[in-house]
Amino acid sequence: MATLGRRPTLLLLLFLASVAGATSQRQRQGDALPGLQTYIVHMNTARKPEVHPTRAKWYAAHLQSLSIDPDQHLLYSYSTAFQGFAASLRPDHLPLLRSSPAVLHVHPDPVLSLHTTRSPEFLGLSQSLKPGSSSSGNDSTSSPASSAAVPSSPFLLAAEAATKDVIVGVLDTGVWPESKSFNDAGLPEIPARWRGTCEAGVDFAPSLCNRKLIGARSFSRGFRAATATSGGGEREGGDKPKEYASARDRDGHGTHTASTAAGSPVANASLLGYAPGTARGMATSARVAVYKVCWASGCFGSDILAGMDAAISDGVDVLSLSLGGGAAPYFRDTIAIGAFAAAEHGIFVSCSAGNSGPRSGSLANTAPWILTVGAGTIDRDFPAYATLGNGERYTGVSLYSGPGMGKRMVLLVYAPPAPSGKGKAVNGSSSSSSNLCLPGTLDPAHVRGKVVFCDRGTNARVEKGQVVKAAGGVGMILANTVANGEELVADSHLLPAVAVGRKTGDMIREYARSDPAPRTVLAFGGTVLNVRPSPVVAAFSSRGPNGVTPEILKPDVIGPGVNILAAWSGAVGPTGLAKDQRRSDFNIMSGTSMSCPHVSGIAALLKAAHPEWSPSAIKSALMTTAYTVDNTGSPLSDAAGGSLADPYAYGSGHVDPRKALSPGLIYDITTEDYIAFLCSLNYSLDEVQAVVKRANITCSRRFRGPGDLNYPSFSVVFDGKSKKVVRYTRELTNVGAAGSVYDVKIRAPAGVTVTVKPTRLVFREVGQKLKYSATFFAKKGRDQMGTSFGWITWINKKHQVRSPVAYRWNMVR
């Protein structure tokens, strides 16, 4: 997990209303205090003296007892998501805190990052729209075999209607409340159990909330303690846009994710003409509560914890977080700690897997009480074409919406001579950085009037286009490298631009190098539907294995995350660049940030249909009903190289909301199970307590290892020298019909023998629980390196309850 490398120079200025459950004594301080860094402090609540009526007062008194003035140093006191506080401290404060018996751990405030529409049809939810409407945004997939709308399901329609009582909390960059995606027409009064609020702030009045957007709050004390700002933080310096000291969304990311999860239907939506149709969220009747925890310089752990603390107290049912950092032990993972508290309160937590794929082991948000979501494509595309002087025509993608190039070819240039002093090699490349189209690397004398071929990498794709345009280029071909493979991500560039895959890029690059006068012309094909194959796992989607607990398979599922249309901020253009003066009510974005809220919204549907289900039951339903074939009937492929994908890329598969509503059986997990899981990791009692926030913890050691958790998937780790037999026990709960009988079906790789006992489960009643054991034998003489995969599926005439199994050999822990 990332930590702060800078020392803040300015303390928090009071601009927020007081936060329920998270108080600050530092609100009176407005002057800079040098030499400070923010830390999150875990407290042992068993040590709280009874003289202090609240934990917040105890935290303040404890700081004072150590000669640390809470009025100057205390940022947040947490009440629900975490037991402890955040404070800006000097180096000499740390030994005092760490030597205190009441302090469990002290960690630097981590800085996390955002994981940056057609999908309702693709997810089979379009039947909820009015007849004749089409779905283009807040994207959402139908059956794996077809992207056409399917017959309406009464159960699905009833679930959608029932989401009026479900509240989805979104932790992100805030919200643009004027967006039509938050229209509350037809919605009844806000659920009486809602305890949240709509905070006043800069350019944000409480009256902007309504029966759809029922809450909006912002948390910035960690951000402002770590970042030098000018008063209210309206301008960060340079040409960066205004940063609103309120829940208003300057960035656009939060508006996009919130509307994807639960946006109201909006007719005639598009991004400057692309992806036209009716934009809608997954749960169109659900309520939205927004918690702004991400700012210009990132998402600070102290602010995230404050947002989660408030969301739990406010009464949300689902929490969606499209952000994360690196893998870390759970007792040091800000999101994991807050999510544990949420799950204990019956709140379903969905998080993005990260955009660091296709690198192995690149996952974020790996805790088993979190649903970790990767990204796949949908069956809609935005083709664009590059025709070369040699007569070849190549297809890529683009969202360029301005005047075209016409039919006349112009010169194509690749890696032109850079301006004097700017031609340094990048990442060991023998060519100058002009091949990457970095700022300052293109010489107008060599670029003006030409199309520039740019390699993907190092800087943002849209920034490359801006660099080309500023140098006088009339167009750009943006080519993937090996890291991105054949994945095509469309962008709303400021000049005519076509993005192509690696193989196509190699051919165009060779043409540009070999022809003495290479020429090209670019053209744009608009929006096309029913693209095959789809879904395909996105190359950027982070992959397993789980770097924190290898015995838990992650990600859990994938959802739509490539070229997703959803609502956007009115403060920035679709590229997010300061020089982009265009404005659109909707934008098309890609990332696991986009796939996460899809699944969060689907979880809201399941919560409405089955209010008695626990978060782990909802998670199990999503996982065991996911599919692993595309709309051609072939196994899911991987955009990174075009080969077949595997469970380290897609987990249990692509979510299928219709099947998840009726999974037949579920793997349920209790809080006590999670505690046993943490104990099996050989954490100290203090470390376990830091996660579960209970005064007294006893580790029973009833789990032989973390793989004994009743998880809906399996991850088997063999030590090639000693550990060649792994046994797991699982328990299934019947949520289908009385008298249901299931038989097991096993698929195993050549190097493993799998036995399951019993091989048949007979459920006489709904709610009945039955156990089974699975034993995995690594065959003699088959000491392997690497990984293999298989499945364990429980089948009857109506349901297939399928669990992926990942196998790893010769891993030393």
Contact 567, 327 (CB under 8 A): no
* Mean pLDDT across 323-332: 91
31: which DSSP letter?
S
Token couple for 82: 């975490």
pLDDT one-digit tens code per residue, 532-543: 999 999 999 999
The confidence band for 692, taking pLDDT boundaries of 50, 70 and 90, is: very high
The structural domains of the chain, ordered by start, are: 26-109 (3.30.70), 114-379+535-660 (3.40.50.200), 383-526 (3.50.30.30), 665-809 (2.60.40.2310)
Which is the catalytic residue, given 593, 620, 740, 803? 593
Look at residue 701 and tell me whether its pLDDT is greater than 80. Answer: no
Task: Read off φ and ψ for residue 726, nearest 5 degrees.
Answer: -125, 130
Look at residue 12 and tell me whether its pLDDT is greater than 90. Answer: no
Average pLDDT over the chain reads 87
The more confidently predicted of residues 314 and 160 is 314
> Can 593 be counted among the known catalytic residues?
yes
The more confidently predicted of residues 32 and 689 is 689
Residue with the two structure tokens 């998402």 = 299
* Beta-carbon contacts of residue 300 (< 8 Å; ≥ 6 apart): 38, 109, 110, 111, 112, 222, 223, 226, 293
Contact 140, 282 (CB under 8 A): yes
Token couple for 806: 């990942």
DSSP-H helix ranges across 366-459: 444-447
* Mean pLDDT across 517-534: 96
The more confidently predicted of residues 700 and 199 is 199
To the nearest whole percent, how much of the chain has pLDDT over 70?
A: 86
Residue 5 amino acid letter: G
* Mean pLDDT across 281-301: 95
- Side-chain-side CA neighbours of 576 within 13 Å: the count stands at 17
pLDDT of residue 781: 62
- Reduce the DSSP state of residue 152 to 3 states and report it: coil
pTM above 0.85, yes or no: yes
pLDDT one-digit tens code per residue, 208-266: 999 999 999 999 999 999 874 334 443 333 344 568 999 999 999 999 999 999 999 99
Look at residue 711 and tell me whether its pLDDT is greater than 70. Answer: yes
How far from chain centre, in Å, is Cα 789? 25
Other CB atoms within 10 A of residue 5 CB = 8
pLDDT of residue 720: 64
> Can 253 be counted among the known catalytic residues?
yes
pLDDT of residue 672: 94
H or E segment at 120?
helix 119-122
Say whether the peptide bond before residue 110 is cis (omega within 30 degrees of 0): no
Look at residue 750 and tell me whether its pLDDT is greater than 70. Answer: yes
pLDDT one-digit tens code per residue, 394-427: 999 999 999 999 999 999 999 998 887 554 433 3
Query: CA quadruple 465, 562, 602, 558: dihedral positive or negative?
Result: negative
Contact 168, 262 (CB under 8 A): yes
pLDDT one-digit tens code per residue, 770-795: 999 999 999 876 556 689 999 999 99
H or E segment at 26?
none
Which is the catalytic residue, given 24, 42, 126, 172? 172
The more confidently predicted of residues 405 and 700 is 405
Q: For residue 392, what are the CA distances in angstroms to 3, 95, 389, 395, 500? A: 49, 68, 7, 10, 14
Can you name the residues that pair with 374 across neighbouring β-strands? 558
* Mean pLDDT across 429-457: 88
Which is the catalytic residue, given 42, 93, 115, 253? 253
pLDDT one-digit tens code per residue, 108-143: 999 998 886 344 454 455 543 332 233 334 433 333
- Reduce the DSSP state of residue 690 to 3 states and report it: helix
Q: How far apart are the first and last CA of the chain?
A: 20
22: which DSSP letter?
B
To the nearest whole percent, how much of the chain has pLDDT over 90?
A: 77
- Reduce the DSSP state of residue 448 to 3 states and report it: coil
pLDDT one-digit tens code per residue, 81-102: 999 999 999 999 999 999 999 9
> Can 614 be counted among the known catalytic residues?
no
pLDDT of residue 721: 66
644 — alpha (psi -120 to 50), left (phi > 0) or beta?
beta
Look at residue 56 and tell me whether its pLDDT is greater than 60. Answer: yes
pLDDT one-digit tens code per residue, 603-657: 999 999 999 999 999 999 999 999 999 999 999 999 998 899 999 999 999 999 9
DSSP string, 451-483: EEEEE-BSB-HHHHHHHHHHTT-SEEEEE--TT
Whats the size of the chain, residue-wise?
813
Look at residue 800 and tell me whether its pLDDT is greater than 80. Answer: yes
pLDDT of residue 33: 52
Q: For residue 736, what are the CA distances in angstroms to 155, 551, 749, 769? A: 14, 29, 31, 12
pLDDT of residue 160: 80
